Amino acid sequence: MKRALLALLALSLAVSLVSAAPAPRRGGTLRAGLDSDPPNLDAHQSTAAVDRQVFQNLYDKLVDINENSEIIPMLATSWTITDNGRTYTFKLRPGVVFHDGTPFNGEAVKFNFERMLDRSFGSPRFSEIDLVTGVTVVDNLTVRVSLEKPFSPFLAVLSDRAGMMVSPAVARRLGKAFAQQPVASGPYKFVEKRAQERVVLERADRHWDRNPSYVDRIIYRPFEDEQARVANLLSGELDIINRVPPTEVARLKGSANLRVLEKPGPGWQGMYLNNTAPPFNNKALRQALSASLDRRTLLRVVFGDTVDPINGPFPPSLWTYDIPQNARIPERNLDLARAKLREGGAPNGYTFTLKTGPGRIGAQIAQIVQSMAGEVGIRVTIEVLEFGALLSQMAAKRYDAALLGWSGRPDPDGNIYSFFVTNGGLNRTGYSNEKLDDLLEAARVLVSQDHRKRAYAQAMAIIAEDVPQLFFYSEKEYKAMSRKVDGFVHVPDGMMRFRTVWLNP
């Protein structure tokens, strides 16, 4: 009898605990703070990581990744890979419509691929999917994508902007003006964008997900000043921020009103060098700058222990991280720096301008680089630019050096290929090396992870020797949010997906 009463009491307690858990509720406006103003809301023209924060809720993709970095279905419910990796056949989700009411189907997928592959359109996605030789509409809900050769990262590529689907009707009508009025099929639709002020999305009237998004409205507000971003979160003016300054992690963790989530980051940060013009078209002068810097001290001063030092594009979260040339941090060597200056024909040093976006971290790194490089006669002028202007100048090769990073991808290819292959879509340094091109192409074709890793190791040996750009660190991925934000799933790519989020009173 006593055992029965105890069991009944335990069951009653369990039921009460379950019933006490807050149920998802619909309604409200979610206010998200971004580190800068999203420059381009056309997924096929975008090059900025901050754009992708908005895209997660505006666009649907063919596939997505989950909190374990696994590829999961989205607009494609399943797929088969045949012909030794050269053919991908996707089954598409039925009943999907774009925000303009037009249907998503095989023809829409074909249009989206052809849009990205159209050289006159100039999409940065081109180099991500340039192995696609054709898209065949098998039937309304089946498409077959043919590749020139096997491409191991293909599904990972489609989990980001290359897999985001735009409305063909609107894209045809607006052309490149699509960025001002994007129409997709995600759970939220575009309302307005006011430059440097806000981007507004509202819940779409129709969406295929049977678990509809709970929040009525999302307002993204840009704060290039990281202290202002944090202050607005602490004051309750923001509900969540996409980037947490490393120096603020401890304080935010200590706030009773906030939650801070942490994961290893997928991206990298460093210094781009313009290899197409003096002084950095001179390999020895690039090597001199590299040897003049004490990377570990730089990172310790700026970040404490909130970042991971790296010497390449592979952070600790990727299986290519432990490649020696990537994980081994170069030691400062002023004698070597001076010898390289002499070898490069500049025994008394040289002058260059280092450009950076707004914010304390970029300014601090630039000042430390300026001080360290100055010890061997390398004179650094610092110029601070609005983020969109920085990207534009780098794309046009109108810079000497610039501090910029990459938000990262789930496959190593996404962290290296477009940046270093000749004429790659994100090759802002203008660097070109035929042997490196061959290795990066091989790593895309190889299926075995071990074989791919060997190719990347050889590629990293070339990059470490030629120093086309400098790598400094990989950020740990933090998200800070009000405790009234519930249902948030922290995915390692650092993107804020609000499809499952609701707001408690």
Check which CATH number belongs to the domain holding 166 and give it: 3.90.76.10
Q: What is the distance between the alpha carbons of residues 194 and 287, in angstroms, rounded to a whole number? A: 43
150-187 CB burial, b ≥16 within 10 A, e <16: bbbbbbbbbbbbbbbbbbbebbeebeeebbeebbbbbb
- In this prediction, residues 48-58 reach a mean pLDDT of 95
> Does a structural domain hold residue 29?
no
- The Cα 193–Cα 208 span in angstroms is 25
Question: What residues have CB less than 8 Å from 8, skipping those under 6 apart?
Answer: none
Q: Across residues 444-450, what is the average pLDDT?
A: 89
Q: Please tell me what DSSP assigns to residue 403.
A: E
Q: What is the rounded distance in angstroms from the CA atom of residue 26 to the CA atom of residue 425?
A: 41
**pLDDT tens digits for range 153-195:** 999 999 999 999 999 999 999 999 999 999 999 999 999 999 9
Residue 4 lies in a domain: no
Contact 165, 113 (CB under 8 A): no
Q: How many domains would you assign to the chain?
A: 3
β partners of residue 150:
none
> Is pLDDT of 93 > 50?
yes
Residue 13 confidence (pLDDT) above 60 = no
Whole-model pTM?
Answer: 0.75
pLDDT reading at 6 higher than 50: no
Among residues 344, 364, 246, 355, which one has the least CA distance to residue 290?
A: 344
Residue 28's alpha-carbon distances to 41, 146, 192, 209, 239, in angstroms, are: 24, 44, 18, 20, 11
Spatial contact of 125 and 161, defined as CB atoms under 8 Å apart: yes
287 plus 354 within the same structural domain: yes
Q: Are residues 280 and 364 in the same domain?
A: yes
Provide the 3-class DSSP secondary structure of residue 458. helix
| Rounded CA separation 193/38 (Å) | 9
Q: Is the dihedral of CA 489, 495, 498, 502 positive or negative?
A: positive
68 and 142 fall within a common domain: yes
The CATH number for 233's domain is 3.40.190.10
Q: Structural domain of residue 307, as residue ranges? A: 268-475
Please state the separation of Cα 39 from the chain's center in Å: 14
128 and 257 both lie in a single domain: no
Residue 371 belongs to some domain of the structure: yes
Q: Per the domain annotation, does 24 fall within a domain? A: no
> Do the Cβ atoms of 307 and 428 come closer than 8 Å?
no
Clarify whether residues 217 and 304 are in a common domain.
no
User: For the chain, what is the mean pLDDT?
Assistant: 93
**Same-domain check for residues 127 and 207:** no
Q: What confidence category does residue 317 fall into, taking pLDDT thresholds of 50, 70 and 90? A: confident
Whether residue 210 sits in one domain with residue 138: no
Do 306 and 391 belong together in one domain? Answer: yes
pLDDT above 70 covers a percentage of the chain that reads 96
> Across residues 120-140, what is the average pLDDT?
94
87 near 147, Cβ under 8 Å? yes
Residue 304 has pLDDT above 90, yes or no: no
**pLDDT tens-digit series, residues 370-399:** 999 999 999 999 999 998 899 999 999 999
- State the number of CA atoms in the 13 A half-sphere of 194 facing the CB: 6
320 lies in the same domain as 439: yes
> If we measure between CA atoms, which residue out of 171, 164, 210 comes closest to residue 185?
164
**Mean pLDDT within 308-323:** 94
In the chain, the N- to C-terminal Cα span, in Å, equals 43
